[in-house]
């Protein structure tokens, strides 16, 4: 039986990953630009915040903050609908909404609003919207039919602490470097960090919030770049850093404790398949909420992350096979 998606109570942070079916490639810049545009529109529509992201050739990563649901006025709902629906549709819906309020007050109007409100403040709804909208655009322009994405996206529930969030964020923004697409993460335009360096305000806000810098982008940029360089070892001469698969396997098999910089040059399954990532207390609390999804023989939830200096971070899944591996092209 497939485990239900693990979600936070109230506000939550998620690292989400989805791949193109059969690992096909979307390599044209135009396609990635359209995807990034849809990503930002879905962020606004769903009322979530993208802290950072990376769109690679056959998959994408996004670090998402999903707030607690809040009241959405009719005016705000109509504004969000304009992001994805035609002006004529929104105009007609606005008339229907106004007439419903005149007839029965809130009851009928709420019934009309609910199909759209259910798609807000939820990680699954956000990912579904992004993938559906891009599939529609891509299929139309490629003259193809059928699904574009693998069935289910991966999600990692991340504790909302600086240590956990920054680890995941830098792992995402270093993806283009590990994949050999750029030598410096700032040069990859289809990423949160690349967008922020280029001056995009939403991307800058995401990283400012991540770094606790308020609205001070210069401070956030300095702090975040230092972390990227320390964890990615992107040296001044631009030389790409990395390990071959045999070196990684040897270290893991002898349970070597790799440095953070070394780990960030590898593909780390904890960040994609760990289900929940954070302190022992955070993972244990999440395990208890989903207790019935696990066998009776399992008595606790937190599993320490191995093979590196993780500063006490744990995951819900006890990963054992290929936990740390060498990166492959377009990997991460």
The span from the CA of 99 to the CA of 112, in Å, is 11
List the beta strands (DSSP E) in the chain: 12-19, 49-55, 59-66, 154-158, 266-268, 276-278, 303-304, 314-315, 324-326
Query: 90 φ, ψ to 5°?
Result: -65, -40
Residue 193: both structure tokens together: 């960090």
Q: Closest Cα to residue 164, out of 322, 12, 317?
A: 12
Q: Closest Cα to residue 192, out of 24, 49, 47?
A: 49
- Total-model pTM: 0.87
CA-based torsion, 293, 297, 301, 303: positive or negative: negative
Contact criterion met (CB below 8 Å) for 285 and 167: no
CB atoms within 10 A of CB 254: 8
Full pLDDT tens readout for the chain, 332 residues: 567 889 999 899 999 999 998 767 766 788 999 999 999 999 999 999 999 999 998 899 999 999 999 999 999 999 999 999 999 999 999 999 999 988 877 889 999 999 999 999 999 999 999 999 999 999 998 888 888 898 789 999 999 998 899 999 999 998 998 888 888 888 999 999 999 999 999 999 999 999 988 889 999 988 888 888 766 554 444 444 444 555 555 655 555 566 666 676 678 889 999 999 999 999 999 999 999 888 888 889 899 998 777 888 999 998 888 788 766 555 45
**Dihedral of the alpha carbons of 284, 285, 288, 293, in degrees to the nearest 10:** -80
β-pairing verdict for 314-315 and 266-268: unpaired
Quick one: fold of 12-69+146-326?
Answer: Alpha-Beta Plaits (3.30.70)
CA 283 to chain centre: 19
Q: Closest Cα to residue 167, out of 116, 231, 229?
A: 231
Contact criterion met (CB below 8 Å) for 53 and 207: no
Contact criterion met (CB below 8 Å) for 277 and 271: yes
Residue 163: both structure tokens together: 């240590």
The confidence score (pLDDT) of residue 236 equals 42
The span from the CA of 28 to the CA of 162, in Å, is 35
The span from the CA of 85 to the CA of 323, in Å, is 43
The span from the CA of 168 to the CA of 163, in Å, is 9
Contact criterion met (CB below 8 Å) for 158 and 278: yes
β-pairing verdict for 314-315 and 49-55: unpaired
**Residue 322 DSSP one-character state:** S
Q: What residue segments make up the domains of the chain, in order of their start?
A: 12-69+146-326, 74-117
First to last CA, the chain: 27
The confidence score (pLDDT) of residue 332 equals 53
CB atoms within 10 A of CB 129: 21
The b-or-e profile of 28-49 (16+ CB within 10 A means b, else e) is eeebbebbbebbbbbbebbbbb
CA distances to 50, 152, 184, 318, 327 from 323, in Å: 26, 21, 25, 10, 12
Q: Closest Cα to residue 174, out of 280, 64, 261?
A: 261
């Amino acid at each position: 039986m497939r485990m239900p998606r693990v979600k936070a109570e109230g506000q939550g942070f998620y690292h989400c990953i989805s791949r193109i079916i059969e690992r096909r490639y979307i390599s044209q810049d135009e396609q990635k630009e359209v995807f990034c545009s849809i990503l930002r529109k879905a962020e606004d529509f769903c009322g979530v915040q993208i802290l950072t992201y990376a769109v690679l050739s056959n998959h994408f990563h996004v670090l998402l903050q999903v707030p607690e649901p809040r009241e959405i006025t009719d005016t705000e709902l109509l504004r969000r609908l304009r992001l994805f629906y035609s002006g004529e549709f929104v105009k007609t819906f606005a008339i229907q909404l106004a007439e419903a309020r005149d007839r029965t007050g809130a009851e009928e109007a709420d019934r009309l609003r609910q199909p759209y409100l259910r798609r807000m403040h939820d990680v699954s709804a956000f990912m579904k919207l992004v993938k559906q909208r891009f599939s529609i655009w891509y299929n139309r322009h490629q003259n193809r039919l059928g699904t574009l994405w693998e069935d289910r996206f991966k999600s990692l529930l991340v504790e909302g602490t600086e240590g956990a969030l920054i680890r995941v964020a830098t792992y995402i923004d270093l993806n283009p470097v590990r994949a050999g697409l750029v030598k410096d993460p700032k040069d990859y335009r289809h990423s949160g960090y690349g967008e922020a360096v280029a001056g995009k305000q939403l991307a800058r806000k995401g990283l400012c919030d991540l770094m606790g810098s308020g609205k001070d982008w210069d401070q956030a940029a300095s702090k975040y770049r230092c972390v990227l360089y320390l964890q990615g070892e992107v040296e001044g001469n631009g030389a790409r850093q990395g390990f071959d698969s045999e070196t990684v396997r040897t270290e893991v098999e002898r349970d070597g404790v790799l440095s953070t910089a070394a780990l960030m040059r590898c593909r780390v399954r904890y960040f994609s398949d760990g289900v929940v990532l954070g302190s022992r207390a955070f993972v244990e609390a999440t395990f208890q909420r989903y207790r019935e999804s696990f066998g009776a023989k399992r008595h606790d939830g937190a599993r320490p992350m191995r093979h590196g200096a993780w500063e006490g971070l744990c995951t819900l899944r006890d990963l054992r096979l290929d936990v740390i591996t060498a990166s492959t092209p377009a990997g991460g």
